Amino acid sequence: MKNNNALKSAENGGSPSDEAHLDRVFHALSDPTRRAIVQRLSGSSGTVSALAEPFDMSLNAVSKHLKVLEGARLIKRDIVGRTSVCSLNIDPLVNAHEWIQQYTQFWNEVLDSLEMHLDADAAEPGAAAKKDERP
Partner DNA sequence: CAAATTCTCAACCATTTGGTTGAATATAAC
Partner DNA sequence: GTTATATTCAACCAAATGGTTGAGAATTTG
Name residues whose C-beta falls within 8 Å of residue 88's C-beta, 6 or more positions apart in sequence. 38, 41, 42, 45, 74, 75
CB nearer to its own copies: give 81 or 103.
103
Which spans in the chain are helix H? 4-13, 18-29, 32-43, 48-52, 59-71, 91-118
Residues at the site binding DNA, with contacts judged by CB under 7 A: 27, 30-31, 33, 47-50, 57-61, 63-68, 77, 81-85
Residues at the site binding its own copies, with contacts judged by CB under 8 A: 1-6, 19-20, 22-24, 26-27, 29-32, 35, 38-39, 42, 88, 90, 93-94, 96-97, 99-104, 106-108, 111-112, 114-115, 129, 131-132
